[in-house]
Structure 1
């Protein structure tokens, strides 16, 4: 049976005790709707609550809440239980304290989300064998995440997606990983070893369809698109300084995106992800489509990505092409045209200029 996570906005005056009573009311009548209440999260500060419920469909969940206490959720998304546990740490109610009738859970679902990326498809070792660097990197990152009480949601050879209850811990973890990275990277290998970290934050249910999707989208874009090594959202900066009595973020080590920069980044990427593989696309269309003047687009794009519009689109296409080559999603000509290049020859030339080898050579070395 599907599992759903729903969002309730708590009116003024509603406390964690009230939410616990509503949860108990759900459990008393859940059988009437073929549902099973698994657990909930309550955040008195942000006035939100989230219920995790196994149900035949969304309507059954709404009917359950309507009968139990009348507070129908604002939004509902379908989720995977394992993913929920990875982000939030549990999928069942915590054990009830002894000698208490009501299990009051004042446990926010708000999380800081950190994405760590190093290397790329080019620099991974063939046959998924870990190099000495990779072994050291994984040991170091795993140890550091644990040290700062983070949870690993997903990882592969070159990336980690992690979740933190504490914004401070997320920021300090990123700085520690950055510091350790310098010591585990051999000097001769520095040009091939890149580290990027993005940190955003948010709640698990928003207007978007996936769990933490809004926070994940911005975090991924900060990590992969912004030129600096560690990039955080403006909300992360504000929360960090609030948690640490106005102790300021070190601008030398961390780039904080201003609200207008976050808006531009999201507007830019929403547009680019629609048109990036259209070979007819002209960068002159950028200013019209994004609602900025040409000079504004150039200045903002250069500040955030370090690239001109032409270079940004070309490198975005090459990155997607590299991914398709690695996943063997077609031959060189097919991937060239699929990623917006007018000819396989021009694609190969751009690929060589960017990565230092031809696509055919990459396939020989990394795929076959």
Structure 2
């Protein structure tokens, strides 16, 4: 049977004890609706509760809640229990430490999300040298995550997705990873030793379809687009500074987006992700599509990304083309056109200028 997570936005006067009582009311009648309540999370400060339930469908969950206590969820999504455990650390009720009749759970599901990316797609250096670097780098990241109580959700050779309960731990962790990265890559030229890490924060169920999707998408976009090695969302900055009264985020070390920059980033990427590979998409219609004047858009984009509109389009398309080449799903000409370039020759020229290798050579080196 599928597993779902639902979200309840509760009123100000609801307590952890009230939520525990509602959960017990569900358990008493769950069999009538062919449901099984696995556990829940409650956040006293944000007044949100999230239930993890095995059920035949979403309607059965709504009916069970409605008959048990009338508190129908605001949103329900289907989830993978392994992913839930990776993000939230458990898929069953925590031990009743107080040994009370009612197991009162005051355990927020709010998490800080870390996305880390390295420029490893291009690495075909001396095989032994690169393998040694990769091993040292991954050992270093895993050690840092463990020390700062981060939970790895997903990882591959050049990407990590992790979650933290503590904002302070998350910020300390990315600073440590960045510092270690410089020591494990001492002999590489700068092109081959790039790292980008971003932190955002959020709850597991929002208006999106997947678990923590809103927070993950924001962190991934910050990682890909913002002109800084370490980037954090405005919410992470505020939470960090409220947890650490005498500390403020040093913008020389970490780029903290302000609300207007964050809003611009979301608007920018919602638009770009729809039109980036259309050959008709160019500098002339870029600002217009977003509703800005050319000069206003130029300033905003340059401040956030360090790139002019023309260079942004080219860089974004090249990155997408690099990913397609890495998958080896099409030939070079097809990838050039799929990525919005008007000719394969111009694409190869731009690719060579950016990455120091021709697309044809890249494919040869990365044959699976």
**Corresponding residue of 1:321:** 321
Aligned to 1:289: 289
CA distance in 1, matches of 2:259, 2:54: 37
The residue aligned with 2:203 is 203
Aligned to 2:110: 110
In the TM superposition, residue 127 of structure 1 has moved relative to its aligned partner by: 9.3
Which deviations, in whole Å up to 9, do the C-alpha atoms of 1:299-356 show, x marking residues without a partner? 1111111111111111111111111111111111111111111111111111111111
Q: 1:307 is matched with which residue?
A: 307
Q: What is the match of residue 119 of structure 2?
A: 119
Q: Displacement, 1:51?
A: 0.3
State how 1:3-82 maps to structure 2 within 5 Å: 3-82=3-82
Whole-Å separation in 2 of the counterparts to 1:282 and 1:260: 24
Q: Classify 1:187/1:128 alpha carbon distance in 2 versus 1 (closer, same or farther; 3 Å).
A: closer
TM-score (norm 2): 0.97
TM-score if structure 1 supplies the norm length? 0.97
Q: After TM superposition, list the pairs within 5 Å mapping 1:1-368 onto structure 2.
A: 1-97=1-97, 99-123=99-123, 131-367=131-367
SS at match of 2:160: strand
- Equivalent pairs, count: 368
Is the Cα–Cα contact under 8 Å of residues 126 and 366 in structure 1 kept in the other structure?
A: no
Instruction: Please identify, of 95-104 and 293-302, the stretch whose mean Cα deviation from structure 2 is larger.
Output: 95-104
CA distance in 2, matches of 1:50, 1:147: 28
Does structure 2 retain, via aligned residues, the 8 Å contact 1:113–1:215? yes
The alpha-carbon distance between structure 1 residues 38 and 347, as it changes in their structure 2 partners (threshold 3 A), is same
Q: Deviations over 1:214-237 (max 9, x none)?
A: 111111111111010100011101
Contact 1:124 1:157 in 2 (8 A): no
Aligned counterparts of 2:307 and 2:81: Cα–Cα separation in 1: 40
8 Å Cα contact 2:7/2:49 also seen in 1:
yes
Residues in 1 aligned to 2:129 and 2:329: alpha-carbon distance in whole angstroms? 22
Q: Distance in 2 between matches of 1:246 and 1:214?
A: 30
Q: Does the 8 Å CA contact 2:120/2:157 hold for their aligned counterparts?
A: no
Match of 2:209, SS state, is: coil
Distance, in Å, in 1 between the alignment partners of 2:114 and 2:188 is 28
* Cα separation, 2, equivalents of 1:189 and 1:303: 26
Contact 1:125 1:131 in 2 (8 A): no
- Give how far 1:124 is off: 5.9
Worse-matched range after superposition: 151-160 or 243-252: 243-252
Give the C-alpha shift of residue 82 in structure 1. 0.7
Structure 2: runs of 5+ lacking an equivalent? none
- Taking only aligned residues, the RMSD between alpha carbons, in angstroms, comes to 1.6
Relative to 1, partners in 2 of residues 1:126 and 1:323: Cα closer, same or farther, differing over 3 Å? farther
Q: What CA distance in whole angstroms lies between the structure 2 residues aligned with 1:100 and 1:135?
A: 48
Change (3 A) 1:126 1:179: closer
Question: C-alpha displacement at 1:99, in angstroms?
Answer: 3.6
Give the distance between the partners of 1:258 and 1:17, measured in 2 at CA: 37
Separation (CA, whole Å) in 2 of partners of 1:230 and 1:107: 29
1:361, distance to aligned residue in structure 2 (A)? 0.4
